A and B are shown apart, each in its own frame.
Chain A
């Protein structure tokens, strides 16, 4: 009825190529943006922000980053946590070394630093594939965490080895540190999410994204038709690491404020982001958001349901959460390898035909 292409005439190539070819999707997109940018900052409170929205947005960036590498370019990576740590430590060093620098620049530079590191660790991907590459990125994970623990220069020789984000202002209001209001933090992160998601969406639609997908689907065939595997793989590593680095930087500077590398950016973080991508949907920007929302929401929702409403012991609920996540991963891998994004896609297909199923 309302959800279809009919009657929506495209008169230019640009209009024909737009991200959302269906008018309803375009309205929905602007409506979501309106709610996110205007409505939520007005009504947000600390619990919503700190327990749900900030981690959701930050992990969405990380999931998009990993999705570019794994979902679009087919290179499995278990080094996400380590690359997030690179972003965080780059932010810390930049914040403390260049006190005058604003947070947007700091965060973007941290992303660039991570991109360089990502390319370095991406080099082996030219020779090794699949499981072996996963092991190589796993090595990156452990190596990066180890080096941040081992070299005191990274944490400015502090006694505890922790890094703390000092307070930084943006347009006269603090965005980092304990005095920052949550709506400021929220808007700051949201800005990055919107811009980066837009960039990712358009990169994956364009020639770069098509090269990545060609490599993913069959690298030899891609090479024969003229895709340069060196450039495609390394650009995927660079862009992916940039996203992951930005998310690690934001997690440290805006959200947590104090970080211990082994604990905040350990192997568990790599798996968490990987699960987000798998549950959300490989090769889908929407899937990255859905996966991040799901993984951030699930523990909180279970806690509210189990502990606050049903009065179960906290440890039982924690174990149930592990069981549910594990079961869901298996479920999605078997039943719906394309994740939540595919369910969303199917729903849209059905909606397009509705109310006439044939």
Chain B
């Protein structure tokens, strides 16, 4: 009985989506669960920018876009279901905003021939495009961001971290463990002591870790957190009066939702960011064409926040890749393979970002067959609790490629050996 019902519903599902001539960008979002504070603004920004393109320009190159949304709750099994149910719609690129789901999708999408863009998350070694043909993680990855953070600390300490103690507070998952290898190499190189403190998912309980921090008194605390973990960590840091300007989050631990719950105590908290913050002309257009028109994906209250901007930036990069692909192939209705070629030939410049209405939203970078990772630059921002805004305090800082590149080659070579992949791009 159940089986019959199952089939009836699945059959209905398979019959439903007709191949429409539009550009499909599935959004595997999470608006529920412990990671929703990060998932909601990102998904809003991603969807709203495509709505803007539809409303203002009539799509990209004359073809309308659509963003079918599927709720994953940051759960990998739901992510698989979402992937399977949306890939038949003619999906051009997947951006799951979850390292776990990205790991899950890398082999599947590579077989199905659909590109994945894990922007600043996912598998770091996917930056090696000669092994990971279908996976992109420009403009930066976790190892870059670890290196950028250490470079920032070096600049604060006259170039030496000798004898300093740096704690890494990380989400105990594939995501949080990613930077450890890089930081271990860096700690040997610069002679600082690395203290690793794991926080189990979802991260509400950190009393023990902060007790350790209180006892060990590290000079700096770096945080690889996401969702509720960030809010709790900042609150705990405030509780033990840990100096906020020595507490640095990575680019997933530096949004408004993370610092506002701690109130004034969060003032001065630092975090890395890959995109710019602050006012941009594109926000006015989104307000006019999308939110005022009642077409916003969410409540419309996230406009201009850090993660909204990042979601929008992700959509901008995808839209630009579509334009490149349309130009390369001379057709407006591109498919996933053309999209991949477009992503691989991206060349982002300042003028281009200004033409999107978002000057300085990210670093200038270009993608090539072998390099799917971009420059990996990031800037440091600081929370101003009085004005309730993030202030960018440094320019883009470059990572130390001499550290990250060998690690990327090593890890991707291991993946290639496991899966019998021949390197491309010779």
Contacts and interface: CB of A to CB of B under 8 A. Distances in A.
Given A290-B2, A300-B81, A308 B16 contact: yes
Contacts of B16: 308
Interface stretch (A14-22, A76-84, A158-166): A158-166
A53 interface: yes
Given A159-B177, A160-B177, A318-B32, A264 B76 contact: yes
A178 B177 contact: no
Contacts of A294: 2
A59 to B, nearest CB: 10
Contact of B2 (A167, A177, A178, A289): A289
B150 to A, nearest CB: 18
Contact of A47 (B84, B100, B181): B84
Interface residues of B, number: 50
B107 A297 contact: no
A258 interface: yes
Interface in A82-113: none
A164 B124 CA distance: 16
Dominant secondary structure of chain B at its interface with chain A:
helix
A304 B172 contact: no
Given A47-B88, A297-B6, A258 B103 contact: yes
Contacts of B69: 307, 314
A23 interface: no
B6 A52 contact: yes
Interface residues of A, number: 53
Contacts of B181: 159
A206 B291 CA distance: 66
Contact of B201 (A160, A178, A266): A266
B173 interface: yes
Interface string B51-85: 00000000000000000011101011110110011
B200 interface: yes
Contact of A318 (B73, B85, B173, B180): B73
Interface in A163-189: 164, 166-167, 177-179
Contacts of B77: 55, 256, 264
A314 B71 contact: yes
Interface in B1-50: 2-3, 5-7, 9-10, 12-14, 16, 29, 31-32, 36
A147 interface: no
Given A256-B77, A293-B6, A294-B2, 13 more contacts: A164-B418, A166-B418, A177-B107, A259-B76, A260-B76, A260-B103, A263-B76, A263-B100, A297-B2, A303-B70, A304-B9, A304-B13, A314-B31
Interface of A: 32, 35-36, 40, 45-48, 50-53, 55-56, 146, 149, 159-162, 164, 166-167, 177-179, 256-260, 262-264, 266, 289-290, 293-294, 297, 299-301, 303-304, 307-308, 313-315, 317-319
10 contacts: A47-B13, A51-B80, A146-B200, A149-B198, A149-B200, A260-B174, A300-B81, A313-B31, A314-B71, A318-B71
9 tightest A-B CB contacts, nearest first: A315-B31, A178-B107, A314-B71, A160-B174, A293-B2, A318-B32, A178-B111, A51-B81, A50-B84
